[in-house]
Structure 1
Amino acid sequence: MKAWQALADWTGIVGLGVVAIGLLVGAALTGWTAVPLSLMATGLALVVVWGLTHRKEVSLFLGLRSTQTNANILVAAAAMAVILVLLNVVAVRYDLRLDLTEEGLFTLSPQTRQLVQGLAQPMKVWVVTTAPDPNLREQLERYRRLNPERFQFEFVDPNRDPLTVQRLQVTQNNTLVVESGNNRQQLPQPPAPELESKLTPVLAKVVNRGEVVAYFVQGHGEVSLEAREGTPTLAQAVAALGQEGYRVEPLNLVQSQIPEGADVLVLAGPQRALFPGEVEKLQDYLAKGGRLLLLIGPRVDAGLDPLLEEWGVVLGDDFIIEVSSVSQLLGTGPAVALVTTYGDHPITAPLAEQRLMTLFPLARSVDTEVREGIQATPLLRTSPQSWGETSPNLEAGPLQFDPDQDKPGPLTLGVALTRQVKGDQKTSESQEGPTEARLVVIGNVNFALDGNLRQQGNRDLFLNTLNWLTERTEQISIRPKSITDRRLAVTGQNFRWLVLGSTVLLPLVALGSGAVLWWQRR
């Protein structure tokens, strides 16, 4: 009892009170200045004085069982507080996050990381909105952490800062403005999960400035560039190129010459042979350092023999058949070539690194022969369980490998070729232009068609190919993924069964189980 009376001595109580006041003032009011530190020092001095003058009572108090129990509780609570503080410090410093979404929507793609980390000059994203979205702020913060020195963002309220909104030339609320130097691009504010897929292409446009023109050769039954109901088109591929900073234009080689500003030509799925004069134009274009992409499907004679012979490219007269276990697992069918093995080339390096698969419905093999001055690199290789079917009629019977006629796998269905440009073949204005011609030949066009383009790594393969041809190596990467629409379609009858099961059947099951248990235990 005397020990408890000693603890009530005013010296110790006042000392503890002064320490508490110092902590409160320093943490909530003035910060850790001289005033709170002086209060804490004074309080600790009073507590020490109380302890020195009441050593016997303190010893008696510490020997009580209740004191030891309470001390253990206090130590455990203090240890837990220290652990929580350390965990928060580690979380703030290292920002470790786990993305459990199927598409990795909250993990920045390799293209975004490569683009932001490689910024050569400061870039700022302005978010003009009257109601800032915290999720959007968090997503932009991910961008900023990649390059804090050169990437910044700021939310602007048009009602509070109309001058900034006027300078940015924004006329609508919920608008994002990407600004770098004298370049500026606007886009409507997307939902936070879709920010990367919408924002990163705009960042690429601002960084790369000028527009690249891609001409698609037309007039021989090539795949249409515009969406048409019931017909496979390249509309999605054209839209993807637009996001990459390309301007797509059709080109008829019979009616016009190849424009001087043509950065790349694409011949996508011709069904009829080109005229000899058209092929000569393509050859002259390559001789001057041009860039050409050929997407030629099976059993099609595009009339390109002189060009292919010059470059040492041989298009196989076959259909690639795939019967690997992966094909059976995916259920794609034997006529869809699956590629998981890639050549050592900048186009396919990101695909190999991310272990992405590419799919090619109805493809043909592509081989190469040695030509002086031409360097050829295989891009796409099928599995050993594939072969090149040479039978003219695939529907005549079951598909079986014929060692006497068919080509055994693995097969190459895409190659990239380069050739140095001779000085006397350059035009007078292009002495400082391309130093080498580039050609990519893929024995398939279906992989780039609407629907197929978004399968696995098909889109990245197509865009990386164009970026390599035009020497936009900074954009060769794996692009952000979009949200997969997974809606559950429920018919009227299914909805009635759902309501009946949740409101009637489940309660009856619960009541019946309870009644059985009661009957067994009574």
Structure 2
Amino acid sequence: MGVSRFRLPRLGRGIGRAQALSAAGVFAAAVLAVNVNWLSARTYVRWDFTSEGLYTLSQPTRELLRALDEPVDVVVLLSRADPLAVSVRHLLAAYRAETSALRVTSIDPDQQPAQFLAIQQKYGILSGKTEDGRIVTDASIVVARGDRHWFLTPDDLLRFDEEAGRVQPALEQALTEGIANVLGTEKATICFSRGHDELGLNDAGPEGLAELRNRIEKNNYAVEERDLRTDPGTALAGCRLLVVAGPKLRFGEAASASIVRAVRDGMSALVLASPTVDDDGRFSPSGLEPVAALAGAELANDLVLETDPGRRLPRGLGEVFFAEPVAHPVTRGLAHGGRPELDVLVSESRSIVPKQGAGVVLRTSDAAVSLGDVRPILEGRLGDVVRAAEPRRFVLAVGSELAKPREGAPAPRLLLVGTASVAENRVFRDPALYGSRMFVENAISWLSARPALVSVPEKPSRAIGLGLTEEALSEVMRYVLIYMPGSAAVIGLFVLLRRRAVEA
């Protein structure tokens, strides 16, 4: 009986064919992945599922970003624990999807102290520590192009309405306007008057304005001095804002009239009118009464003394004290919900009488008095005069906004302050006077506000926290007592019946 030979199937050719097909499949998948990535890069699309469309860019923003032909740097100075960090990161991702000219750098002040210190010194950013050790800054985002930069504060990114209990996101508006501002080629000019013995713009002493000038120039403004005595008619040409800082000599009619004309034509003005004394020891007019009248106020010829021990400094006669800020754009960050959080230190201030259209910005306590001349001080009768005077509240600063002189022009604004001490160098050098520094910086920002270069639609506001009405409480009660127990009972009954059916 012969033994039949058993032949094995030829598997080598089949295995080789399968391996070739697998390799071809892998290669095809790789080619497909490359094509998908290439198409994704060419047609980048983001989906925004937020109910308010927080990360959907408006048409003006997209047009601005697509028109960028030079790099713009955006430096984010938010810690990881900051509630705004996630929103800012997602919004900047949407910005970068529209242009490659945007260079974003995120620096965590807590985790990257060396890099934060370099940025802080470069742009002059203030910082401090909270009770839990986190570093907070006065600028959350810096937008820069070349030597021009723009600061965005936390108040610029979110708008709170404490009375209504609502918050309105303003991330896109703030970022887009910041980019538009650094793209501009012209700097707004802030002029300082001279010729009436004002505080020195280049004076580095305690009572000079060198620190204020340095701060203004760091914020993309050109600073110039204008002498109103030579040619009052054209001396203020090109000024976006005029600062009159503590003149000791009286303004003439021509000089004050030129200021009034310039303000009516669109220029804003900051008048720091410290009290002045004449040869008879009486407090004299400053000559700026027409400017004050244009603002809807009157400059009083007096010296305000604070008698409240909680507000006046122990030294002096009461002429150095902490003024109380009133809710106003100039006092942003100083007062919240109608209650002051940071006070402004003033020294030797006159009072201001608000008339029609002037809003109160700073005021004393209700225990202040005023002097019409300095003779009681020189003669040692100040105590008797103060006791005989009727204590009351005095206004130290007022602000007003006038009508636009023409279509498209900015509305001129006026701020009258009864003292120039809020702008002196000591305010910027002493950390204890942070309230005064914030006041003068807010004043410059408010007065020199330029019209937005782009118009970004506002996002809808939403409620902060829980708004529990009677109807909402009733709905919660129905959910807790009826809907949730009922749903659990129905599910349990269904499971029980299902098990019985299976067992049967």
Q: Which TM-score band (shorter chain)? A: 0.5 to 0.7
Letter matched to residue 204 of structure 1: F
Give the alignment of 1:165-176 within 5 angstroms: none
Letter matched to residue 285 of structure 2: D
C-alpha separation in 1, matches of 2:379 and 2:136:
50
1:213 alignment partner, SS class? strand
1:268 — aligned with what? 245
Matched, 1:417 2:393: no
Give the alignment of 1:85-104 within 5 angstroms: none
Percent identical residues:
22
1:280 — aligned with what? 257
Matched, 1:466 2:444: yes
Deviation at 1:462, TM superposition (A): 0.8
C-alpha separation in 2, matches of 1:270 and 1:150:
48
Letter matched to residue 421 of structure 2: N
Q: Paired residue for 2:380, among 397, 402, 406? A: 397
C-alpha separation in 2, matches of 1:327 and 1:380:
13
Q: Can you list the C-alpha shifts for 1:125-181, whole angstroms capped at 9, x where unaligned? A: 479xxxxxxxx99579887445112347xxxxxxxxxxx9x9x9xxxxx989x9xxx
Provide closer, same or farther for how the CA distance between residues 367 and 189 of structure 1 changes in structure 2, counting only shifts above 3 A.
closer
Contact 1:294 / 1:440 at 8 angstroms: preserved in 2? yes
C-alpha separation in 2, matches of 1:188 and 1:416:
29
Provide closer, same or farther for how the CA distance between residues 324 and 472 of structure 1 changes in structure 2, counting only shifts above 3 A.
farther
Aligned residues: 312
Contact 2:358 / 2:398 at 8 angstroms: preserved in 1? yes
1:340 — aligned with what? 324
Q: Paired residue for 1:384, among 355, 359, 366? A: 366
1:457 alignment partner, SS class? helix
Contact 2:206 / 2:426 at 8 angstroms: preserved in 1? no
C-alpha separation in 2, matches of 1:244 and 1:400:
46
2:228 alignment partner, SS class? coil
Deviation at 1:260, TM superposition (A): 4.2
Give the alignment of 1:444-463 within 5 angstroms: 444-453=419-428, 454=430, 455-463=433-441
2:347 — aligned with what? 361
Contact 2:312 / 2:322 at 8 angstroms: preserved in 1? no
1:218 — aligned with what? 194
2:270 alignment partner, SS class? strand
1:325 alignment partner, SS class? coil
Unaligned runs of 5+ in 1: 1-118, 128-135, 153-163, 169-173, 179-184, 475-522
Letter matched to residue 218 of structure 2: Q
Give the alignment of 1:262-341 within 5 angstroms: 262-299=239-276, 300-327=284-311, 334-341=318-325
Letter matched to residue 148 of structure 1: R
Provide closer, same or farther for how the CA distance between residues 149 and 217 of structure 1 changes in structure 2, counting only shifts above 3 A.
same
Contact 2:348 / 2:419 at 8 angstroms: preserved in 1? yes
Provide closer, same or farther for how the CA distance between residues 418 and 407 of structure 1 changes in structure 2, counting only shifts above 3 A.
farther
TM-score between both structures, scaled by the size of structure 2: 0.52
Letter matched to residue 393 of structure 2: P
C-alpha separation in 2, matches of 1:473 and 1:330:
45
Deviation at 1:240, TM superposition (A): 2.0
C-alpha separation in 1, matches of 2:124 and 2:393:
47
Unaligned runs of 5+ in 2: 1-59, 66-71, 94-100, 106-113, 129-134, 143-148, 153-177, 277-283, 453-504
Letter matched to residue 437 of structure 1: P
Letter matched to residue 383 of structure 1: S
1:149 — aligned with what? 90
Provide closer, same or farther for how the CA distance between residues 269 and 197 of structure 1 changes in structure 2, counting only shifts above 3 A.
same
Q: Can you list the C-alpha shifts for 1:308-361, whole angstroms capped at 9, x where unaligned? A: 34544222222111121323677676111321241x422224311261110111
Deviation at 1:452, TM superposition (A): 2.7
C-alpha separation in 1, matches of 2:127 and 2:417:
37
Deviation at 1:188, TM superposition (A): 8.2
Letter matched to residue 252 of structure 2: F
Provide closer, same or farther for how the CA distance between residues 298 and 401 of structure 1 changes in structure 2, counting only shifts above 3 A.
farther
2:298 alignment partner, SS class? strand
Letter matched to residue 217 of structure 1: S
C-alpha separation in 2, matches of 1:284 and 1:138:
48
Matched, 1:235 2:210: yes
Contact 1:268 / 1:295 at 8 angstroms: preserved in 2? yes
C-alpha separation in 2, matches of 1:297 and 1:189:
29
Give the alignment of 1:45-84 within 5 angstroms: none
Deviation at 1:186, TM superposition (A): 11
C-alpha separation in 1, matches of 2:126 and 2:438:
23
Provide closer, same or farther for how the CA distance between residues 332 and 419 of structure 1 changes in structure 2, counting only shifts above 3 A.
same
Provide closer, same or farther for how the CA distance between residues 217 and 139 of structure 1 changes in structure 2, counting only shifts above 3 A.
farther
C-alpha separation in 1, matches of 2:363 and 2:441:
19
Runs of 4+ in structure 1 deviating by more than 6 angstroms, as ranges, are 119-123, 139-143, 188-195
C-alpha separation in 2, matches of 1:450 and 1:405:
36
1:451 alignment partner, SS class? helix
Deviation at 1:252, TM superposition (A): 1.2
2:310 alignment partner, SS class? helix
C-alpha separation in 2, matches of 1:141 and 1:468:
27
**For the aligned residues, what is the CA RMSD?**
4.3
Letter matched to residue 433 of structure 1: A
